[in-house]
């Protein structure tokens, strides 16, 4: 069967992001995965390289305060709402603090030991280019040696993860299909920013479905229409206020339902019933100018992100106990403040790992003293926990994956179990 460009566009609009690729579950390798039953995994990608040093803050380091004369967060002070919030570690130390914008949303999860941070995490990629590093991370391939041919970008690691699991149902909550979800498994994508309404009415959908009835694309068309119908129904619930009222009641009006929180709650509604591997990206983290400290640009972003993640956790309900959320970025930022009261592209970052079964309330991975000698190239945080090794260790725990299947997801990586779940 030959498809015209017009037909391809119609398929894409119906939610079939890669209509020429085989249908999920038909061609993917089917392996039994004892640990995969009912597991939910969400990857949140902060695009722009967020300033991790002002999120999980080394408040015990004099070098931190010397390096950031205007954007450093004050040391924990109960009477100062703009000061860092002390992170009580299991060993009783308190050399680290949390940005105050996350106090009402992420600190409760930390206290319940459902949130862990992994400082000095990231990729071996040192280009400090947003696009190159994002592509590199999303493919999940090892970084090519200087002068060597870059590794193929033919697939992303979440797509390969789905291909190794039996009956996995991945989805991307994005306008287009991101690199991390490309590959042999067909992955639907849908943006939750709008109404989610289908561009076709019922008559047009029936005609379109009829065109592909009996073909291998029939289930893709049906899945695309079904997904958009569900999203539209959720949007309608938001508009009528029924869900907003429920959210207010559940949170004692502590969290407002706007921005990322609405999207995150809609993600949870879909993941509870339909999908088990998901991706969303959140932009705006490239804070070169006027980054702020307890207030300002970064604080506003963190407030929205924290509300969204807390809303997602709440909306998942009992499924939260089987859910793992990982928050990453392409890189961290320079440790020293720049001349425009911001930070520039850096290297090591801090990853977040949260979920009902997460062994949280702690910093995981190899730690480095926050001193001038501890910096990478005298400018940013080093990477002691490589993202492929960390995620490989997590996937082994979540899905009981053996070495062979892990190597399909992250070729040439050695999984590291940080005891996160």
Q: What is the pLDDT of residue 193?
A: 73
Tell me: pLDDT of 22 over 60. no
Q: What is the pLDDT of residue 243?
A: 47
Which whole number is the average pLDDT over 244-272?
65
Q: What is the pLDDT of residue 73?
A: 98
Residue 89 banded pLDDT, cuts 50, 70, 90 = confident
Q: What is the pLDDT of residue 196?
A: 53
* Helix 5-13 / helix 218-240 crossing angle, nearest 10 deg: 40
Residue 6 banded pLDDT, cuts 50, 70, 90 = very low
Instruction: Determine what percent of the chain is predicted with pLDDT higher than 90.
Output: 66
Query: Do the beta carbons of residue 53 and residue 329 sit within 8 Å?
Result: no
Which whole number is the average pLDDT over 218-223?
71
Point out the least confidently predicted range of 106-110, 192-196, 273-277: 192-196
Which whole number is the average pLDDT over 131-147?
88
Q: What is the pLDDT of residue 146?
A: 72
* Residues 224, 50: Cα–Cα separation, whole Å: 33
Render pLDDT for 325-384 as a digit per residue (tens, 0 to 9).
Answer: 999 999 999 999 999 999 999 999 999 999 999 999 999 999 999 999 999 999 999 999
The backbone torsions φ and ψ at residue 242, rounded to the nearest 5 degrees and listed phi first, read -60, -45
Tell me: pLDDT of 204 over 90. no
Tell me: pLDDT of 93 over 70. no
Q: At 253, is the secondary structure helix, strand, or coil?
A: coil
Q: What is the pLDDT of residue 285?
A: 95
Q: Residue for token digits 């079964």? A: 357
Q: What is the pLDDT of residue 212?
A: 76
Tell me: pLDDT of 26 over 50. no
Query: Do the beta carbons of residue 94 and residue 87 sit within 8 Å?
Result: yes
Nearest to 319 by CA among 39, 68, 57, 15: 39
Tell me: pLDDT of 246 over 70. no
Residue 32 banded pLDDT, cuts 50, 70, 90 = very low
Which whole number is the average pLDDT over 240-244?
52
Render pLDDT for 65-81 as a digit per residue (tens, 0 to 9).
Answer: 999 999 999 999 999 99
Q: What is the chain's length? A: 421
Residue 30 banded pLDDT, cuts 50, 70, 90 = very low
Higher-confidence position of 48 and 246: 48
Q: What is the pLDDT of residue 144?
A: 80
pTM (2 d.p.): 0.83
Higher-confidence position of 113 and 147: 113
Instruction: Determine what percent of the chain is predicted with pLDDT higher than 70.
Output: 77
Q: What is the pLDDT of residue 201?
A: 67
Which whole number is the average pLDDT over 100-111?
97
Mean pLDDT (the chain) is 84
* Residues 29, 164: Cα–Cα separation, whole Å: 6
């Amino acid at each position: 069967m030959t498809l015209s460009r017009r037909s391809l566009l119609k398929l894409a609009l119906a939610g079939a992001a890669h209509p020429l690729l085989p249908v999920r579950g038909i061609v993917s390798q089917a392996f039994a995965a004892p640990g995969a039953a009912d597991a939910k995994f969400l990857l949140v990608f902060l695009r722009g390289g967020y300033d991790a040093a002002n999120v999980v803050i080394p408040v015990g380091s004099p070098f931190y305060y010397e390096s950031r004369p205007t954007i450093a967060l004050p040391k924990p002070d109960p009477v100062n709402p703009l000061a860092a919030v002390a992170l009580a570690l299991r060993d009783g130390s308190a050399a680290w603090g949390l940005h105050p914008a996350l106090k009402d949303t992420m600190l409760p999860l930390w206290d319940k030991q459902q949130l862990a941070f992994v400082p000095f995490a990231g990729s071996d990629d040192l280009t400090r280019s947003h696009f190159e590093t994002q592509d590199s991370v999303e493919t999940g391939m090892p970084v090519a040696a200087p002068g060597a041919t870059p590794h193929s970008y033919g697939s992303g690691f979440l797509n390969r993860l789905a291909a190794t699991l039996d009956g996995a149902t991945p989805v991307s909550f994005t306008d287009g299909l991101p690199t991390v979800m490309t590959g042999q498994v067909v992955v639907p994508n849908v943006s939750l920013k709008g109404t989610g309404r289908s561009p076709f009415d019922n008559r047009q959908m029936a005609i379109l479905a009829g065109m592909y009835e009996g073909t291998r694309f029939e289930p893709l068309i049906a899945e695309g229409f079904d997904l958009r119908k569900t999203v539209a129904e959720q949007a309608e619930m938001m508009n009528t206020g029924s869900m907003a009222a429920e959210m207010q009641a559940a949170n004692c009006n502590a969290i407002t339902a706007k921005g990322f929180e609405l999207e995150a709650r809609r993600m949870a509604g879909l993941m509870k019933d339909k999908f088990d591997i998901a991706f969303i990206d959140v932009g705006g983290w490239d804070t070169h100018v006027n980054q702020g400290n307890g207030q300002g640009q970064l604080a506003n972003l963190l407030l929205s992100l924290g509300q969204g993640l807390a809303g997602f956790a709440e909306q998942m309900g009992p499924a939260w106990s089987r859910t793992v959320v990982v928050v990453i970025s392409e890189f961290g930022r320079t440790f020293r403040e720049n001349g425009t009261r911001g930070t520039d592209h850096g290297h090591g970052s801090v990853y977040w790992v949260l979920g009902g079964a997460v062994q949280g309330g702690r910093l995981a991975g190899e730690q480095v003293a926050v001193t001038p000698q501890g910096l990478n190239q005298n400018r940013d945080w080093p990477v002691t926990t490589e993202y492929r090794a960390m995620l490989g260790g997590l996937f082994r725990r979540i899905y009981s994956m053996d070495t062979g299947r892990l190597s399909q997801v992250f070729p040439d990586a050695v999984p590291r179990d940080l005891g996160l779940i």
